[in-house]
Amino acid sequence: MSTLRIAVVKETAGSERRVALDPDGAKRLQALGAQVLVETGAGSAAWFDDEAYAAAGAQLLPRAELLAEADLVLSVGPPADDVLAALRSGQSYLGLLAPLTNPELVRTLTERGVTAISLDGLPRTLTRAQSMDALSSQASVAGYKAVLVAAEHYDRFFPMLMTAAGTSKPAAVLVLGAGVAGLQAIGTARRLGAVVSGYDVRPAAREEVKSLGAKFIELQAGITAAGEGGYARELTAEERQAQQAELADHIARHDIVITTAQVPGRTPPLLVTAATVARMRPGSVLVDLAASRLGGNVEGSVPGETVLTDNGVRVVGAANLPSRMATSASQALSRNMSALVAHLVRDGELVIDLDDEIQRGVVISHRGEVVSPGVAAVVTAAAPAGSAESAESKEGQLS
């Protein structure tokens, strides 16, 4: 039986500084009987040097050689173009692939016979899957960093300070969305001395917000939207309008607003309209954690940019905050990766078992087929007109 070879590639997308596996993770995977191959310089941006990987027992290789030898490739996000071109049938690829918004990537991996495994699809309500939950670990990092970003852009103190020069009021912070990122943001803002309020459409969030010492905002409209898998369901148009109208008064009274509401693979809900931003005081700060090419929670936010409005409000499109805390984020992600790989490996081999609930969630393509029903629907819908997939879709509609 040949040794399973697990490769870690260096991230080259934009400003990404994380790495999928740290040296400790390399040790954990070798304990499974695998050989760990690491691309030269893969961890340098997160302050894990090649010597640390070598000391952990990993083999350092250039990218082309590493991809030629690998059975399983680990990355933070979707593969770069040169990596995708080098992948071959029988290999497996694991990362945060965002398959619901990358149908072309899924189609390419499937056509190449690559087994695509995406941490995005992990069933997050399963207790035994918690150690693998990369979305939660990275959201926690993002929530913490969002508060530091807000503090950097806010021209006043966070805590109340009493000095010989006078007393400064504490900052009033509002966090919209009380998932993992939101709760981390609430806790961090509280530790910095701000007066913090939180809001979420899920009824269960009320006690979680209060447990952190923050005030929970109750809307008179009484909108609740508990959904499946720990997420909120999508609001109706009428509910959204009522929510925005009532939230506007609360938002305008706060110095800092951090928005964290995201829907996997779909446009984030608009929580803060341009009209609401116009009501905020000069010097106020909005940090939009949901800002992406799909949109954001704040009207006018731009991913990766800070916009100063005419009335003096800074709107921060906080794209990929975990990358700005690359060391801690990579350590957490490495533990998630290691835990999932340990679940996939049996007797030293990678075993795909779609009867397993965890694998059913994370395995996207296998043996030349898209095996995730939700992703398959997106891939079919995005198929070019005249393609086999498009024809099958039309045939299904007519039958």
For 108-148, the pLDDT digits (tens) are 999 999 999 999 999 988 999 999 999 999 999 999 999 99
Cite the residue boundaries of each domain of the chain with CATH code 3.40.50.720: 5-121+325-398, 142-319
Catalytic one of 35, 118, 136, 137: 136
21: left (phi over 0), alpha (psi -120 to 50) or beta: beta
Considering 71, 120, 133, 288, which one is annotated as catalytic? Answer: 133
Half-sphere exposure of 344 (CA within 13 A, CB side): 29
Q: Catalytic: 44?
A: no
Phi, psi of 216 (to 5 degrees): -95, 130
**pLDDT the model gives residue 398:** 32
Concerning whether 393 is annotated as a catalytic residue, the answer is: no
Known catalytic membership, residue 199:
no
Candidate list 24, 231, 279, 360, residue with the active-site label? 231
In terms of C-beta density within 10 A (0-12 exposed, 13-18 middle, 19 or more buried), how is residue 216 classed? middle
Quickly name the fold that domain 142-319 has: Rossmann fold (3.40.50)
Query: What six digits make up the tokens of 167?
Result: 């007393």
Query: What percentage of the chain has pLDDT greater than the value 90?
Result: 81
**Which two tokens mark 25?**
């993770």
Question: Phi then psi for 283, rounded to 5 degrees?
Answer: 95, -10
Least confident of 87-91, 113-117, 234-238, 279-283: 234-238
pLDDT at 51: 98
Supply 75's token pair. Answer: 């990355």
Q: Is the pTM of this model over 0.85?
A: yes
Computed over every residue of the chain, the mean pLDDT equals: 92
Model confidence over 198-214: pLDDT tens digits?
999 888 899 999 999 99
133 is a catalytic site residue: yes
Annotation says 93 is catalytic: no
Helix (H, G, I), strand (E, B) or coil at 314: strand
Q: How many residues does the chain have?
A: 399
Fold (topology level) of 5-121+325-398: Rossmann fold (3.40.50)
Which listed residue (50, 59, 124, 393) is catalytic? 124
The confidence score (pLDDT) of residue 286 equals: 98
